[in-house]
Every structure is written in structure tokens, then in C-alpha cells.
Amino acid sequence: MEGLNVVDAELVVYLHPSKSRKISQAILRELSSLLFRFYEAFDGVLLAYDVNVVDNLPKILPGVQPYFGFNLKANLLVFSPKPDMLLEGKVVKLSQESIHVIVLGFSSAIITAESVRAEFKYRTKGEEGIFASRSHKRHVIKVGTMIRFSVKSFDDEILHIIGSLMLVHTGSISWLDRNLEENSEFDRSATKSRDREWREDKTVDEGETPSGYNNLVNKSKKRRIA
């Protein structure tokens, strides 16, 4: 899935003197309070961190209650969705008007009916609503389906995504992955078949031009033009 980045950052964490007995725990607690929030400095939502204290001699800030400042080096996992990126999420609600998705367990996304390509048609199966492909009967989107969709926009204040299923390589992940595997196997089989024909043609006398060879050349020309 796109939109996930690792950021190398240098941070300073300030601790109250009352937390000086358990500095490591206090630092981790401060960093944990930053999770699942959007920060312009990181250009994304902080999901996880791996941190090391640069030195054990903190800077002391003057004041009535002087704080300790610790310099840190951290690797931050950041979620930063941009337009046209491909994301993955679980369908949690579905109606004729929209598909609602949860991404990474915390960010909500909505795909309106206008952003679903014409290949999909909404229908009911029993009491359950689904979006079913007109071209591939097994390509179905329903509640619980993991889908791949493209980003139209991202609201960093409420962590809400507006998505789209207009691209042909979006939809049910399980169906898309199976379809890609089948296409890859078909391509490999076709390549092996062409290789066999080529080897057989090489055994023919130079003065002869077998019809199979002509067919192979014609097919190759068509593919190059296309």
C-alpha cells in the first residue's frame, strides 16, 4: 500500500522534574501521546516510532519548575496519503450511494457512487447490499471486503479520506490479486509456446518458410503496432 513513509527525525522531549526517576518510561509516554495525529513537520499522521536518546545529560530550562530537555533520534512511521495514491482498507458499511472504508484501523474513507466505475452495479443479495462487477461475476464488494482504491483528497484535521474506484486496478484485493496471478501465468504460458515454435522453426530447411513462422511474424508485428 502506498502512503506509508519512514522519516528520520531529531526530536527534543521536555520532562517535568517529577518524572526524572523513570526517564525512559516518561519519554515513551510523551511520544505515545503524539500517535495518530497529523503533524505538518512530518507531513503525515504518526503511526509508530523507534527512538534512541542521543545523550544522558539533559538541558535544563530555567523557570519556577525547570524542565529537562532530552535530545532524541527517531525513526517515525508516517501515514501521508496524497491524491492518486493507492490505499487499502476494509469495507465497514455499504449502500447504493456510498462505500465506507476503514484504513489502517483508524482513518475513515468514503467512496461515493459517482466515484465507482460503471463496471460495478449495486444490487441486493438477500438482505445484504453489494457492488458486483458486470464483467467478472466473482468480483464483488460487500461489507468485510478488503479493497484497493485511489485517493481523491485527504482531510488532515479529521483524518478523513475521499476515495475512488474509477481505475481498473481498484476493487476487491483478493479478486485483483488472483486475476493478476492468472494473467501472469497466461503470459508465461504464451511465452513458452512462442519459444517452442521458434525452436521448431529453426529446424526447418533454410529454403522453406513454414506457415507457422509467417503467423508468428504477423502476430509480432501486430503487437508492436499496438
Instruction: Report how far apart, in Å, the C-alpha atoms of 172 and of each of 76, 118, 164, 196, 207 are.
Output: 30, 15, 13, 36, 54
How confident is the model over 14-40, as pLDDT tens digits?
Answer: 888 888 788 889 889 999 999 999 999
Asked whether residue 31 is assigned to any structural domain, the reply reads yes
Same domain, 48 and 113: no
The whole-model pTM stands at 0.72
How confident is the model over 61-81, as pLDDT tens digits?
Answer: 666 567 888 889 999 999 999
Same domain, 64 and 113: no
Residue 66 belongs to what domain range?
Answer: 4-79
For residue 203, name the pLDDT band (cuts at 50, 70, 90).
low
Lowest mean pLDDT among 34-38, 113-117, 171-175, 188-192: 188-192
Same domain, 99 and 153: yes
Which of 28, 57, 79 corresponds to the end of one domain? 79
Same domain, 15 and 51: yes
Total domain count, the chain? 2
Same domain, 53 and 99: no
Asked whether residue 183 is assigned to any structural domain, the reply reads no
Same domain, 40 and 96: no
Strand-pair partners of 2: none
Lowest mean pLDDT among 21-35, 78-92, 97-111: 21-35
Same domain, 68 and 91: no
Give mean pLDDT, residues 208-217: 41
Higher pLDDT, 106 or 20: 106
**CATH code, 58:** 3.30.1490.120
Instruction: Show Cβ contacts of residue 71 under 8 Å, excluding neighbours closer than 6 positions.
Output: 10, 11, 12, 53, 54, 55, 59
Which of 23, 53, 79 corresponds to the end of one domain? 79
Decide if pLDDT at 215 tops 50.
Answer: no
69-90: b or e for each residue (b if 16 or more CB lie within 10 Å)? ebebebebbbbbbeeebbbebb
Asked whether residue 192 is assigned to any structural domain, the reply reads no
Using CA atoms, how far apart are residues 91 and 100, in angstroms rounded to an integer? 6
Same domain, 96 and 157: yes
The three-state secondary structure class of 149 is: strand
